[in-house]
Amino acid sequence: MKARLTQCLVDQLIAIEFSDDTLIDSDFAIKIFETTGAELMQLNKNELSELRKLLNDLSKSYDNPDHRDFVISLPKNFGLE
């Protein structure tokens, strides 16, 4: 179940990150990323380790290299490393 929830979250973040500015307001997108990052920073060490593993495993499922790189960079970009 955790893998599916992680995939849902990541797919939403990819949709926001790679959408055209005419579809999603950039201020709104930043707010979503800030809120998500703040919530993820509340995870404990074990949860963070599990999330990093899930993201690493999940990144391999994306054919688009930009999406794959985005998923791999999420822990760093959210300040989780």
pLDDT tens sequence across 12-70:
999 999 998 889 999 999 999 999 999 999 999 999 999 999 999 999 999 999 999 99
Sequence ranges of the domains in the chain: 2-18+25-77
Q: Which pTM value belongs to this model?
A: 0.89
**DSSP notation for the chain:** -HHHHHHHHHHHHHHHHTS-TTTS-HHHHHHHHHHHHHHHTTS-HHHHHHHHHHHHHHHTT-SSHHHHHHHHHHHHHTT--
